[in-house]
Amino acid sequence: MKKDSAIYQYEKDKKQTNNKMKNKKSSYIGSAIGFIGLLLITLILLFSSCSGTAHLTIEQEQKLNKIDYQLSKLWDTYQYESDSLILEYDNIINKPKKPKK
């Protein structure tokens, strides 16, 4: 009888543990869904409130486009020169040494 009651108690404890784990998992999932929902609502409010106040004139947009173009052009030049220098550096470092005669 003791073996049967021990097995019964073990099975009962196992079921309770499984139920607790299921409850924890569903709690974590619910918390994650709630957090993601709150984050989405916050982002929507943030972007919608900021976009309504930024009205630029055509002249301002043209100036900004010109500045963006100049910055892009400078960045491309910098990247090209930087890559060239890196390649030159690598060629010097990795140049095979001539064996001494």
pLDDT tens for each residue of 15-38: 777 666 666 666 777 788 888 888
Least trusted range by pLDDT, from 14-18, 38-42, 74-78, 95-99: 14-18
Q: What is the CA radius of gyration of the chain?
A: 33
Residue 1's pLDDT is 47
> What's the distance, Cα to Cα, between the start and end of the chain in Å?
94
Q: What's the mean pLDDT in 82-89? A: 94
Which letter does DSSP use for residue 53 in this model? T
Which residue type occupies 22?
A: K
Q: Which residues contact 56 (CB under 8 A, 6 or more apart)?
A: 64
Digit-coded pLDDT (tens) for 40-74:
988 888 777 655 556 889 999 999 999 999 999 99
The CA distance from 37 to 43, in Å, is 10
Where are the domains positioned within the chain? Answer: 1-55, 56-95
